[in-house]
Amino acid sequence: MDIVLAQGDITLQRVDAIVNAANSGLWGGGGVDGAIHDAAGERLAEACAEIRRTRGGCPTGQAVLTPGFNLPARYIIHTVGPVWHGGTRGEPELLASCYTRSLALAEEHGLRSLAFPAISTGVYGYPPEAACAVAWTAVLAHPANHVREVRFVLFSEAAFRIYEHAARQRGINPS
């Protein structure tokens, strides 16, 4: 599996699926979630309303799939990261589950490429270095079948540098 680092807007990625750092109600919020909802268009809000109606939303650590609608990506995998409470309420396990569940959903649907943001590092307050370590560990542990490329798409230069440093520490030279 190829791992790519990119700095920029995840909504512009030409991959099979982008991963949305969603809230449990799948309401368009701020940050990555708001940008994805805005770029995907009104039909995404309708699809999320259907998931709320039929499944009650998406619990923390889980993932659900919708079409990408107006995005270059065919699909959106919505996953709900944990709110940071100092690491004492299972946050690392829940965050790891976001990555593993998203990858499993991609495999289930035969997707070959997906792009992840830095889940939970915005308003949910997860420390970026700690979240990065969880992300790398989860992605590298994934036994890829269909998934051939994972992109970490970081909005800020600071986040990009954290992920780049983590790659080097693991002996990885991401594309």
For the domain that residue 71 is a member of, what is the CATH number?
3.40.220.10
pLDDT at res. 174: 79
Q: How many domains does the chain contain in total?
A: 1
Angle between helices 157-169 and 128-141 (to 10 degrees): 50
Choose between 130 and 144: higher pLDDT.
130
Does residue 133 lie within any of the structural domains? yes
Q: Which residues are marked as active site? A: 33
Does residue 174 lie within any of the structural domains? no
Does residue 175 lie within any of the structural domains? no
Residue 36's domain comprises 2-169
Does residue 15 lie within any of the structural domains? yes
- The gap between the terminal CA atoms of the chain, to the nearest Å, is 11
At 173, the pLDDT band (50, 70, 90 cuts) reads confident
Does residue 140 lie within any of the structural domains? yes
pLDDT at res. 108: 97
For residues 55 and 48, the answer to whether their CB atoms sit within 8 Å is no
At 44, the pLDDT band (50, 70, 90 cuts) reads very high
Does residue 16 lie within any of the structural domains? yes
